[in-house]
Chains A and B, each alone.
Chain A
Amino acid sequence: MSLTGACYRSIRLALVAWMTLVLLAAFSFGGLLLNVPRIPILEHTARNLYFHVPMWFTMMALTAMAAWQSFRCLKTGDLECDMRARAAVHVAILFGVLGLLTGSYWAHYTWYEGTDIWWNFDPKQTMAAVQVLIYGAYFALRNSLDEPEKRARISAVYNVFAFVTVPFLLYVLPRQMESLHPGAEGNPAFSEITHPVMRLVFYPAIAGFIGVAWLLYRQRVRTYRLEAAADRRGSEALIGHMH
């Protein structure tokens, strides 16, 4: 069942309030959290941890949601699940692209400071781009199929396989290669270098961004339902006209 009415509105309000608090905390909170460690190269941009990294966590959460809905679609043949999977992949791509853009921008002014490098094929960067392309192909596949049931089934199989690649492309492979990202070969992992003060904002930021993504996902699902209803009405009118 999907949430409606007052229940949805109170969750929406709570998410907006939560995210606003996270944004305030990211910069100050009365000076309490202001003094994040000033590390050379990173300086104030260390705060990008609260914004850039949650993009990827949010994308992973959405791909997991999409895979779950596709799995249900395969089991039951329900087209509603197909719509939800499609909506989740759509929002996942949005967050993936935002992650790529923010990462490229951040790296330009820190890792590649003083150069004109914007894109350096850092393994994590490359794999993330491949991941976004894999999910882009999901829509290419969908557009090539006309019959709704067949489209739901085939794209659901593809989507489940796409999700299997996520932990490898975003986590396992970049760690095995030479990368500037934390956790790669020879680099300390996130847990070893991140100051505890930053975790007070980082984890709530992940939750907040996933919440915002859920709002966007829900809006898309509702849009798809309306589109489907309009299509049904359209074809009924056409059949009525022919008779």
Chain B
Amino acid sequence: MRAGVYLAVAIQEALDSVMLANDKLFVVLAVVLIIWAGIVVYIFKVDRRLVRLEKEAFPPKPPPREYPKDQPS
């Protein structure tokens, strides 16, 4: 329990030291990555929806029916 608290504090301090270094530039990186993650999720979701709609709108053609040959007509 106590070890967990220490770990959390240590992680927080490490994160702060990274985020505040270099004139807080990495805060901008974090923001950019959050935005990018949102855009990626959006692209994937739109793609999935398109696939579902395409399956409805353009159903695969049924295979041509084969007639038995060699039969008297």
Contact = CB atoms under 8 A, between A and B. Distances in A.
Interface of A: 12, 16, 19-20, 23-24, 26-28, 34, 44, 212, 215-216, 219, 222-223, 225-226, 229-230
22 contacts: A16-B43, A19-B36, A20-B33, A23-B33, A27-B25, A27-B29, A28-B26, A34-B22, A34-B25, A44-B23, A44-B25, A212-B39, A215-B43, A219-B46, A219-B47, A219-B50, A222-B50, A226-B50, A226-B53, A226-B54, A229-B57, A230-B57
Binding site secondary structure of chain B? helix
B8 interface: no
B57 A27 contact: no
Given A28-B29, A44-B23, A226-B50, A16 B57 contact: no
Interface in B2-57: 22-23, 25-26, 28-29, 32-33, 36, 39-40, 43-44, 46-47, 50, 53-54, 57
Interface of B: 22-23, 25-26, 28-29, 32-33, 36, 39-40, 43-44, 46-47, 50, 53-54, 57-58
A222 B33 CA distance: 28
Given A12-B47, A28-B26, A28-B29, A23 B54 contact: no
A23 B43 contact: no
A212 B39 CA distance: 10
A223 B36 contact: no
Nearest to A20: B36
A164 B43 CA distance: 32
A16 B32 contact: no
Contacts of B53: 226
Contacts of A230: 57
B40 A16 contact: yes
Contacts of B39: 212
Contacts of B54: 222, 225-226
Contacts of A12: 43-44, 47
Contacts of B22: 34
A219 B29 contact: no
Contacts of A226: 50, 53-54, 57
Contact of A27 (B32, B47, B58): B32
- Chain A to chain B: the 10 pairs with minimum beta-carbon distance, closest first: A27-B29, A229-B57, A222-B50, A16-B40, A226-B53, A219-B46, A226-B57, A23-B32, A215-B43, A23-B36
B58 A229 contact: yes
Nearest to A229: B57
Nearest to B39: A212
Contacts of A216: 43
A43 to B, nearest CB: 9
A124 to B, nearest CB: 25
